[in-house]
Amino acid sequence: MTTTIKKTITSLKNYFLLAMPGLHDPNFAQSVVYICEHSADGAMGLIINQPLNIPAKAIYDQLDLSYGDEYGSALIFDGGPVQRDRGFILHPTVDKQWESTVEIAADISLTASKDILSDIAVGNGPENALITLGYSSWAAGQLEEELTQNSWITIPADSAIIFHTDSAKRAGAAASTIGLDLAMLSSDAGHA
């Protein structure tokens, strides 16, 4: 007799949430969320595939930061519906630490302080940083409930998808890491 051991994931930190086609919440439809923190108290993440029509230079100008023209054209991303006036920078983990840098995984860090923006604006920040406005948040048990409703697919995160994949292709790239073709997903939920 073969015994199958089921692996239980207790935290989705450093995972992607891929919105299922049946998720009609306008804040999250067709989104990929990178989970930065997940515990019994709730979860926090950043949407990584929804660029806003706002160039980085708009943020630099608002904060009175000097910047090189080549660093001002990157688009800012909609990180989620909570505190859209607050910035979060998802970036590769590097030796330099900024005021509020938190390492999420060996190769992915999060910083929410102005000092990193000053460095990015002049080319001294981490390469391929993703600047977001706002974040996504779930209260205790809320994300787990959404998972039972088949609103999301959970996928182990891959930094190459965040930092080296075009934003329009991130959902498909994340799905393909688990052998899933987005075109084959149905908006009808089922439970086995």
**pLDDT reading at 185 higher than 80:** no
**pLDDT reading at 6 higher than 70:** no
Residues 115-138: b if buried by 16+ CB within 10 A, e if exposed: ebbbbbbeeebbeebbbbbbbbbb
The whole-angstrom distance between residue 179's C-alpha and the CA centroid of its chain comes to 21
Percentage of residues in the chain having pLDDT higher than 70: 92
The whole-angstrom distance between residue 124's C-alpha and the CA centroid of its chain comes to 23
pLDDT per residue over 22-36, tens digit each? 888 888 989 999 999
Residues 28-58: b if buried by 16+ CB within 10 A, e if exposed: beebbbbbbbbeeeebbbbbbbbbbeeebbe
pLDDT of residue 34: 98
Tokens of 106: 């060996």
pLDDT per residue over 65-95, tens digit each? 999 999 999 999 999 999 998 999 999 999 9
Give the amino acid at 13: K
Tokens of 41: 């108290």
Beta-bridge partners for 35: 45
C-alpha to C-alpha distance for 31 and 42, rounded to whole angstroms: 19
Confidence of residue 10 (pLDDT cuts 50, 70, 90): confident
pLDDT of residue 191: 45
pLDDT per residue over 164-184, tens digit each? 999 999 999 999 999 988 878
pLDDT of residue 41: 95
pLDDT of residue 4: 52
Nearest Cα neighbor of 137 from 42, 62, 54, 61 is 42
pLDDT of residue 32: 97
Those residues whose C-beta lies under 8 Å from the C-beta of residue 15, and which sit 6 or more positions away, are 9, 34, 35, 38, 154, 155, 156, 157
Q: What is the mean pLDDT of residues 90-118?
A: 94
Beta-bridge partners for 153: 18
C-alpha to C-alpha distance for 67 and 47, rounded to whole angstroms: 25
Structural domains of the chain, ranges and CATH numbers in brackets = 15-178 (3.40.1740.10)
Q: What is the mean pLDDT of residues 97-123?
A: 95
pLDDT per residue over 111-137, tens digit each? 999 999 999 999 999 999 999 999 999
Q: Mean pLDDT over all residues of the chain?
A: 90
pLDDT of residue 192: 46
